[in-house]
Amino acid sequence: MNWIRARQPDQIAERRSDILTSAAAMLEVKELESVTLGDIAESAGISKANIYRYFSSRDEIYLTIFVMERESFAHELIERIGRCRAKDRISRIAEIWAETALAHVTLLELYPRLHTTLERNSSVDQIAELKKTGGAMLRRSAAAHHALVPEIDESAWYGITQASVALMTGFWHFVNPDEKVRLAMSRPDVDQPSMDFRSMFVSSQAAMIRGHVPRV
């Protein structure tokens, strides 16, 4: 393995980016729980020992990916909400959420692992920073939604946004279960209809939002 240690800031940033890209790609073929540092190192073309020059653990790598994906999702969502001119604003908001979510599948895969794995193996300082930046994103999102639908106050939109994230991640994993569940569901004697993430999310979120519109 031809390895040249990165020494300059731009080289270090590039090496970290390569590792993050490889780690994110692993989620397309494996569940997070099955991914090892060795898998990431092999995919990135470096040794496992050298990964520790850039990240302290596998979970730090995936927490970094989560933060980047969450920021990207929030930025795109807020931008699209700001451009919305639809007559049925609430239905369009739900469609925008679903479309933006489906463009960020890595985030959907990591969200449920945030509390069960990634936060449990992080420091208090890391978790505090994660919560601080998350709260700031929720406030920006609430402000953008309130600007589009001012009938619902901003504090209510904050709660709607929190609930929408839970709805989004819950539906995603309900519709895309692990391999054992998929095998069980494929049996002819298991009589359950197929489920579609987009339609389930859009109808549920739109109903939740409409429930917050004040009655005149």
pLDDT tens string 12-34: 888 899 999 999 999 988 888 89
> What is the CA angle 147-149-154, rounded to 5?
65
209 touches 161 (CB < 8 A): no
Per-residue pLDDT tens digits for 91-136: 999 999 999 999 999 999 999 888 888 888 888 898 899 999 999 9
Q: Which two tokens stand for residue 18?
A: 């390569």
Whether the pLDDT of residue 1 is over 50: the answer is: no
Looking at every residue in the chain, the average pLDDT score rounds to: 91
Domain 59-210 has CATH 1.10.3720.10: no
The CATH class of 1-55 is mainly alpha
pLDDT at 6: 58
pLDDT band at 216 (very low <50, low <70, confident <90, very high): low
User: Which residue in the block uniquely carries the two structure tokens 């990207």?
Assistant: 72
Does this model's pTM top 0.95?
Answer: no
Q: Report domain extents, the chain.
A: 1-55, 59-210
Residues 47-71 have pLDDT tens digits of: 888 899 899 889 999 999 999 999 9
